[in-house]
């Protein structure tokens, strides 16, 4: 027997319709590529998203065809989130930090029909346009008078001229909630990038879950700054959750340095910000150097890479900003777990609470997770036993676009997504990532967590960034070494760093050596590229070998 409730599909357009109707004057503030601060509202956003949808109709784009963006976080990008997906097309957000050849590869793989880009990215488009035969229309996200006369790109139009003449009374179509809404490619550090194709249903469910009190706790009283890029996993779903809650949105545009981010937080009364540790490092360095404080920021979600304990302590103890450590992947939309304490844990001593915050947290309802051993058998939730982390749920990938399904089946035939992360889960359900499976260091049959080794080094006042990798050892199989990039003007010796480990970890987990580097290589999403670091250290030998 079926239930007798209205069968209304979960569509992205419904989030915008809600925001327009109930939070029409809700603010959306953007620092633009043009350099100024732009202000708009959900009402205006909705009108312009409808104009964009009309422009796509006029262009003759069918349902399901792909429209690409190469853009910073800003209101025009937000319009694309709703105008493209809302009208049944698929938004392909492209990471501009990929190599142009990779960008052309993903454009061709996705068969993008329209590509809209910020002015900053004109050189990328100039480099790729002749290699992208599927693209019928190139659109620069700017006013008509900013369009370069001699770009070399055929029929280049400005976004404002393109959508400006279109109707605002477009009616959002209704369709199956399982229809594709957006696609994001993995960064492709090993092999070609893989396309993760989100649906309306997965995006809307994720938006609801993300806003929950034990997740990001978003409300119409918040002013939210997504520093996480809209070109990577839909900025952790914040654009959708923002429309769902009607919170004020503050977009940083291209200015991600500490000073610019701080100024925006203060000027716009930001209460909640989201970003990866590398961006927050820049922000902390800036506010410390200026002796500044945050007057409105109360909490920040940090994820995408392990948040160093020193960063958690700095935000919490120096600045009174609550840190929510989060874990996720492109394949998980991305939110999988978030570290919010349970009631009993609020009574724990401070040190124990800080230790808890280093964990990546508890599964969000909708995400089921487990750890398994090499034989696929589930391992206990004791906070000690390591295993491969598997997840499943309605916003977790089933199959890559034009690719295979990576799912592994359990005994009852349920498919689980193997994350490639190694983790423990404690009795309270708090998951702790110890490594990517390919970064695990095995020394004398015991595992050493490269993240633990890095976290300790990151607590040293002279260290800007630390990366731990295993090096071959004839007796122990592998021993860890730590590559260190020092803060500008700071100094520390190999001995200083090694001495810093004393008493903070077991002796056999202390790295065998310290290698100083100018910078730790970062990938397109700001994460450490250990493959590149290993290449850089080719020929390196452990001391005494």
Tell me which residues touch ligand AMP (CB under 6 A): 186-187, 233, 303-306, 325-330, 334, 360, 419-421, 433, 436, 525
Active site residue 194: no
Catalytic site residue from 342, 402, 438, 442: 442
Q: Which residues of 326-354 are buried (b: 16+ CB within 10 A; e: fewer)?
A: bbbbbbbbbbbbbbbbeeeeeeeeeeeeb
Which is nearer to ligand AMP, 9 or 406 (by Cβ)? Answer: 406
Q: Closest Cα partner for 389 from 409, 368, 370?
A: 370
Q: Report the C-alpha dihedral over residues 54, 59, 65, 67, rounded to 10 degrees.
A: -80
The residue with its CB nearest to ligand AMP is 330
The tokens describing 145, both together, are: 């008078």
Report the nearest approach of ligand AMP to the CB of residue 246 (Å): 27
The catalytically annotated residue of 189, 316, 447, 527 is 447
CA distances, 287 to each of 64, 264, 300, 315, 487 (Å): 45, 13, 15, 11, 15
**β partners of residue 409:** 415
CB 323 within 8 A of CB 360: no
Q: Which is nearer to ligand AMP, 158 or 330 (CB)?
A: 330
DSSP 8-class letter at 62: P
DSSP result, 170-189: PPPPP--TTSEEEEEE---S
Distance CA 479, CA 221 (A): 50
User: Are the C-beta atoms of residues 207 and 200 closer than 8 Å to each other?
Assistant: no
Question: Measured from the CB of residue 327, what is the shortest distance to ligand AMP in angstroms?
Answer: 4
d(Cα 164, Cα 300) in Å, to the nearest integer? 37
Catalytic residue flag (residue 101)? no
Beta strand pairing status for 387-392 and 415-425? antiparallel
Q: Closest distance between ligand AMP and the C-beta of residue 469, in Å?
A: 15
For residues 271 and 296, the answer to whether their CB atoms sit within 8 Å is yes
Least distance from ligand AMP to the Cβ atom of residue 163, Å: 31
Name the residue nearer to ligand AMP (CB basis): 233 or 363.
233
Q: Does the annotation mark 331 as catalytic?
A: yes
Tokens of 157: 């139009």
Q: What is the CA radius of gyration of the chain?
A: 24
**Complete DSSP assignment for 257-305:** SHHHHHHHHHHHT--EEEE-HHHHHHHHHHHHHHT---SS--EEEEESS
Question: Which one is catalytic: 20, 79, 160, 331?
Answer: 331
Provide, rounded to whole angstroms, the least separation between the CB of residue 334 and ligand AMP: 6
Strand partners, 223: 248
Verify cis geometry, omega within 30 degrees of 0, for the bond prior to 237: no
Q: Which is nearer to ligand AMP, 88 or 303 (CB)?
A: 303
Asked if 138 is an active-site residue, the reply is no
What whole-number distance in Å separates Cα of residue 232 and Cα of residue 330? 8
| Minimal distance, residue 330 CB to ligand AMP, in Å | 3
> Based on CB atoms, which residue is closest to ligand AMP, 40 or 337?
337
Catalytic residue among 40, 41, 186, 434: 186
To the nearest whole angstrom, how small is the minimum distance from the Cβ of residue 397 to ligand AMP?
Answer: 10
Residue 482 in contact with residue 537, Cβ under 8 Å? no
CB of 339 to ligand AMP, least distance (A): 9
CA 185 to chain centre: 12
Nearest approach, Cβ of residue 487 and ligand AMP (Å): 22
Instruction: For residue 328, give the nearest of 291, 289, 286, 363 by alpha carbon.
Output: 363
Nearer to ligand AMP among residue 146 and residue 527 (C-beta): 527
Which is closer to ligand AMP, CB of 83 or CB of 526? 526
Q: Closer to ligand AMP at the Cβ: 28 or 312?
A: 312
SS3 403: coil
Kindly tell me which of 13 and 187 has the beta carbon lying closer to ligand AMP: 187
| Residues labelled as active-site residues | 186, 331, 442, 447
């Amino acid at each position: 027997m079926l239930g007798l409730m209205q069968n209304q599909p979960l569509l992205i357009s419904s989030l915008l319709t809600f925001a327009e109707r109930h939070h029409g004057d809700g603010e959306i503030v953007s620092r633009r590529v043009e350099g100024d601060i732009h202000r708009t509202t959900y009402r205006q956003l909705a009108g312009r998203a409808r104009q964009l949808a009309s422009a796509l109709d006029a262009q003759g784009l069918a349902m399901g065809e792909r429209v690409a963006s190469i853009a910073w976080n800003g209101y025009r990008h937000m319009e694309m989130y709703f105008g493209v997906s809302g009208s049944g097309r698929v938004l392909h957000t492209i990471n501009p930090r990929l190599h142009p050849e990779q960008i052309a590869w993903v454009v061709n793989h996705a068969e993008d029909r329209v590509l809209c880009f910020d002015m900053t990215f004109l050189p990328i488009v100039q480099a790729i346009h002749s290699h992208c035969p599927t693209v019928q229309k190139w659109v620069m996200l700017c006013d008509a008078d900013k369009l370069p006369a001699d770009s070399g790109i055929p029929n280049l139009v400005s976004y404002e001229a393109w959508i400006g003449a279109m109707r605002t009374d477009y009616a959002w179509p209704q369709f199956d909630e399982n229809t594709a809404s957006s696609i994001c490619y993995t960064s492709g550090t090993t092999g070609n990038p893989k396309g993760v194709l989100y649906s309306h249903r997965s995006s809307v469910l994720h938006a609801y879950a993300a806003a929950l009190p034990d997740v990001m706790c978003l409300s119409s009283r918040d002013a939210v700054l997504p520093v996480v890029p809209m070109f990577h996993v839909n900025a952790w779903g914040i654009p959708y959750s923002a429309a769902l809650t009607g919170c004020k949105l503050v977009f940083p545009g291209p200015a991600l340095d500490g000073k610019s981010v701080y100024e925006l937080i203060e000027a716009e009364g930001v209460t909640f910000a989201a970003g990866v540790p590398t961006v927050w490092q820049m922000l902390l360095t800036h506010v410390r150097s200026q002796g500044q404080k945050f007057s409105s920021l109360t909490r920040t979600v940090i994820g995408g890479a392990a948040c160093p304990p020193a960063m958690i302590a700095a935000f919490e103890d120096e600045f009174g900003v609550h840190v929510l450590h989060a874990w996720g992947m492109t394949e998980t939309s991305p939110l999988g777990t978030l570290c919010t304490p349970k009631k009993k844990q609020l009574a724990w001593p401070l040190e124990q609470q800080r230790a808890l915050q280093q964990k990546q947290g508890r599964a969000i309802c909708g995400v089921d997770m487990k750890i398994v051993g090499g034989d696929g058998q589930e391992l206990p939730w004791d906070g000690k036993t390591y295993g491969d982390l598997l997840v499943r749920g309605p916003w977790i990938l089933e199959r890559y676009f034009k690719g295979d399904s990576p799912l592994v089946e359990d005994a009852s035939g349920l498919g689980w997504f193997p994350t490639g992360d190694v983790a423990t889960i404690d009795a309270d359900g708090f998951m702790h990532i110890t490594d990517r499976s390919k970064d695990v260091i095995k020394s004398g049959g015991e595992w050493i967590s490269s993240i633990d080794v890095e976290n300790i080094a990151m607590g040293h006042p002279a260290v800007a960034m630390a990366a731990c990798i295993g090096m071959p050892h004839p007796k122990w199989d592998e021993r860890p070494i730590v590559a260190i990039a020092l803060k500008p003007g700071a100094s520390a010796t190999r001995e200083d760093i090694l001495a810093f480990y004393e008493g903070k970890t077991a002796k056999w987990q202390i790295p065998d050596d310290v290698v100083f580097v100018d910078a730790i290589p970062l990938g397109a999403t700001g994460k450490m590229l250990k493959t590149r670091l290993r290449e850089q250290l080719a020929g390196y030998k452990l001391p005494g070998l």
